[in-house]
Amino acid sequence: MLRRAPRRTHRIGRGRQTAVAYALLAPSLVGVLGFLLAPVAIVLVLSLFDWKLLSTPEFVGLANYQKLFTDSDVWHSLLVTVYYVVICVPGTTILSLLLALLVDRKLRGMKYFRALLVIPWMATPVALGLVWSWIFDPGRGALNQFLGVFGIDGPAWLSSPVLAMPSVAAVHIWQFAGYNMLFFLAGLQNIPRSLREASSLDGASPVAHFFTITLPLLRPTMLFVLITNVIGSFQAFDTIFVMTEGGPGDSTEVATYLIYDEAFRKFDFGYASTISVLLFAVVLIATISQFVYFERRTTYEVSG
């Protein structure tokens, strides 16, 4: 009896809590349903239709998917996307980790320095893209002016099929490195200082300490950063749209750009939806495989 009473109140309290929680969640739940899940469902349905915007939608079954498998543009754009991801993810991760190690110390003014590094992520991507197009401009751009000081005749960064992709990827890395640094910084500050003292007592060099202690303990952070980066790079659109419009030729035509092109230049909404579904599947597979890979290797707690 005595035992039950508190349990019951506990349960009631919990039910109330749940109700309050859902009430508080409702606004964002509406957002997720109306603006995230509903569009996904609509895209899935649209991918089964032939819809050129001005014409009446016509059900065509899997015809769009058949076209997908023989469309070299689509597979090319997937390769381009993977190329972009392969540059951006390691680039952003390594740079942000280095930055985190750099700013993980107590120095006067360090917090301003940290804030400064996050600013690129806060800025509007379209504005960033414009500014970087000016910097990369072969004639009067800041980059080639700078190289000119050393007597180097700088290339046409964004109109060279070879250099365009590394150039736009560099902007992506610059844009997101500071933001990802925040996660590594939080991760680093969770590692007990006693471990550092212990390892240095045992005579470990700072490099050895980093690879045998810091890095393994950063695994949960690493998992988060890698997954969000892979997804983010697969979905990159805005800076590429502003800087190269997928060009020169189709050298920076990532999947998202192809989707935009099909939908808003050619007004083929059905086919654009089909490519979106493909991209969704690719990102899903990439994310799940990362989870599986890390699940076996992640140490969440120091005592573990």
Partner 1 sequence: MSRSVSRRTFLIGAGSVLALAGCGSSDDKASSGGGKVELVYRLWDEQQEVGYKAVFAEFTKQNPDITVRMEVLPWDQYWTKLTTELASGKAPDVFWLTVDYFPDFASKGVLAPLDDLISKAGLKLDSYHPNVVQSYKFEDKQLGMPKDMGIVGLLYNKDLVTKAGVTMPAELTWAPDGSGSFLEVARKLTVGSKQWGFCSWNHSQTQWLNWIASNGGHAMDKPYGAFDFASQKSVEALQFARDLVFKWKVSPDGTRTNPPTGQATEMFYRGEVAMFPANNALLPFALPEVKFPIGVAAMPAGPAGRTVVINGLSEAMFAKTKHPDEAGKLVAFLGSEKAQRLMGDAGYIIPALNNAGAGYKAFWKQKGIDVQPFLDSAAGSTVNLPIAEGWTAKSPEINKTVNDLYLDKVGVPDIATAMDKIGNDK
To partner 1, the closest distance from the beta carbon of 28 in angstroms equals: 11
Residue among 147 and 163 whose Cβ is closer to partner 1: 163
Overall residue count recorded for the chain in this entry: 304
Residue among 161 and 192 whose Cβ is closer to partner 1: 161
User: Which residue, 250, 272, 243, 271, is CA-closest to 259?
Assistant: 272
Residue among 54 and 292 whose Cβ is closer to partner 1: 54
As a whole number of angstroms, the distance between CA 136 and CA 167 comes to 8
**CA 155 to chain centroid:** 29
Residue among 199 and 279 whose Cβ is closer to partner 1: 279
As a whole number of angstroms, the distance between CA 98 and CA 188 comes to 11
To partner 1, the closest distance from the beta carbon of 252 in angstroms equals: 9
Residue among 13 and 161 whose Cβ is closer to partner 1: 161
**Residue 272 phi, psi (nearest 5):** -60, -40
User: Which residue, 201, 276, 255, is CA-closest to 48?
Assistant: 276
**CA 151 to chain centroid:** 37
**Residue 48 phi, psi (nearest 5):** -100, 5
To partner 1, the closest distance from the beta carbon of 16 in angstroms equals: 30
Residue among 199 and 243 whose Cβ is closer to partner 1: 243
Token pair belonging to 255: 């999947």
To partner 1, the closest distance from the beta carbon of 189 in angstroms equals: 20
To partner 1, the closest distance from the beta carbon of 168 in angstroms equals: 11
Only one residue has tokens 């980790």, namely: 97
To partner 1, the closest distance from the beta carbon of 59 in angstroms equals: 18
Q: Please report the DSSP string for 242-262 in residue order.
A: HHTTT-STTTT--HHHHHHII
Residues that bind partner 1 in the complex, under the rule CB under 8 A = 35-36, 52-55, 121, 125, 138-139, 156, 158-161, 164, 176, 179-180, 227-229, 231-232, 235-238, 244-250, 261, 264-268
To partner 1, the closest distance from the beta carbon of 266 in angstroms equals: 4
User: Which residue, 221, 222, 276, 273, is CA-closest to 254?
Assistant: 276
As a whole number of angstroms, the distance between CA 138 and CA 135 comes to 9
Residue among 57 and 213 whose Cβ is closer to partner 1: 57
